[in-house]
Amino acid sequence: MEELIWKYIDNTCTDEERESVVNLLNTDAEFRKSYELIVDLEDQLLSVAKITMRPDFKTQLVQKVAIELREQKVSIKTNILPIKWIIGLSFVAVAIIIYAVTIIKSAEPSITFMPSMDEKVISMIGMVTSGFIMLTLLDAILKKVQQIKRITGLLA
Amino acid sequence: MYMQDLIIDNTWIRLLLKGDRKTIHTFIESYGQFMYNVCYKILLNTSEAEEASQDAIMKALKAIESYDIRSSFKAWCYTIAYRTAIDYRRKIKYTSDISTSIDIAHPSKADDEVNSNETKQNILSLLSHLDEEARTIVSLFYLEEKNIKELMEITGLSESNIKIKLFRARKELSLHANKYFEKI
């Protein structure tokens, strides 16, 4: 009986159900009493559905959020490995190595049993590049770990 | 601004994280208000709901980079607010008789739209008979203007599950309703 009343109130009942509610309201005093109680309850529930924030709390919240975001920006900047620096230093390192190798090559006579300077340069560039890739990966992993920590901390 | 009018995308999140004043305002007006409502319906007290919702909003901002843009932002906010309010409730060792801590001191401050403070007090006391989950389902149902689909998205529950829980909760409420409405 109660389920039927709620369906009627929510407007989710079928035409037959609606008809039967109307009939019961006209004939059954007990049903009518339950119906009135539920309508009253529904009215009260609707009246407290949305609780509005106090205006001064809202203002205070906006300010706190702005401050938090400012601080967050700073902490993101300082917590994460400085990628820009890594890229910049890698380029500088590569340039220095190439320059040094060119000087050594021009100063020394070629030694047949040693690997050629080009090979040395290539291997050095390779090492620096792989170092750079590893640092970038490390940076990405650290970022991910920070994120996971934040989420698990939140959901714990 | 209503939540459904807001498009939560990377640009919006970036603007929020940049501290764009207008975006912060819309975030608080829509999602902040929603989170406050979720906290309030669990804690049933203005000052506690304010503290918990503020905490939840800060948590959301700290974790916003982990939010998956393909999922519902509202559901994500709801989860954070719900868990924070439950944690808060646990932390402050809420007394078993919740009705004693129901906010009756400043009801008009919290809700201008409610005509009678007494009515509000009664309905909140009535709601306190429900467990947290049932209370949240009932509250969200009315908060979301009876939109079951929205509720499914927020809670992650199936339609039939929501309907069953809602029916049980309403049944429980109607059992206690008589004594409260007699006072009105």
pLDDT of residue B53: 94
On whether both A41 and A94 belong to a single domain, the answer is no
Read off the pLDDT of residues B87-139 as tens digits, 9 standing for 90 and up: 888 887 655 455 555 554 444 444 444 445 666 777 778 888 888 888 888 88
Q: Is residue A56 part of a domain?
A: no
Read off the pLDDT of residues A112-127 as tens digits, 9 standing for 90 and up: 555 566 666 777 777 7
Which token pair is B138?
A: 């009932």
Read off the pLDDT of residues A131-146 as tens digits, 9 standing for 90 and up: 777 777 887 787 777 6
pLDDT at B54 over 90: yes
Task: Give the burial class of A128: count Cβ atoms within 10 A of its Cβ; 0-12 exposed, 13-18 middle, 19 or more buried.
Answer: middle
Cα radius of gyration rounded to whole Å, chain B: 17
Pairwise CB contact (< 8 Å): B170 & A61 = no
Q: Is residue A29 part of a domain?
A: yes
Optimal mutation site among A13, A53, A77, interface B, most CBs of chain B within 10 A:
A53
Q: Is residue A72 part of a domain?
A: no
Pairwise CB contact (< 8 Å): A48 & B111 = yes
Q: Calculate the alpha carbon distances from B122 to A49, A118, B107, B167, B180 in Å.
A: 14, 86, 12, 20, 6
Q: What is the span of the domain harbouring residue A32? A: 2-47
DSSP state of B144: T
> How far apart, in whole angstroms, are the C-alpha atoms of residue B112 and residue B108?
6
Which token pair is B109?
A: 């401050």
pLDDT of residue A110: 55
ipTM over 0.85: no
Read off the pLDDT of residues A34-51 as tens digits, 9 standing for 90 and up: 888 888 888 878 877 778
> How far apart, in whole angstroms, are the C-alpha atoms of residue A75 and residue A146?
12
A33 close contact with B: CB closer than 8 A: no
Q: Calculate the alpha carbon distances from B58 to A62, A72, B109, B138, B161 in Å.
A: 11, 10, 23, 26, 31
On whether both A149 and A92 belong to a single domain, the answer is yes
Q: What percent of chain A has pLDDT over 70?
A: 74
Read off the pLDDT of residues A75-113 as tens digits, 9 standing for 90 and up: 555 455 566 667 777 777 777 777 777 777 676 655 555
Pairwise CB contact (< 8 Å): B61 & A53 = no
Mean pLDDT lowest among A47-56, B67-76, B88-97: B88-97
pLDDT of residue A76: 52
Q: Pick from A3, A52, A150: which is nearest to B113 by CB?
A: A52
Q: Taking residues B76-84, what's their average pLDDT? A: 89
Contacts of residue A25, defined as CB under 8 A and 6 or more positions apart, other chains included, come to A31, A32, A35
pLDDT of residue A116: 60
Q: Taking residues B54-82, what's their average pLDDT? A: 85
Q: What percent of chain B has pLDDT over 70?
A: 77
The secondary structure element, H or E, covering residue A143 is helix A117-155
| A13: helix, strand or coil | coil
Domain count of the fold of chain A: 2
Spell out which residues of chain A touch residue B174, defining contact as CB-CB under 8 Å: 2, 34, 37-38, 41
Residue B57: pLDDT band (50, 70, 90) is: very high
A86 close contact with B: CB closer than 8 A: no
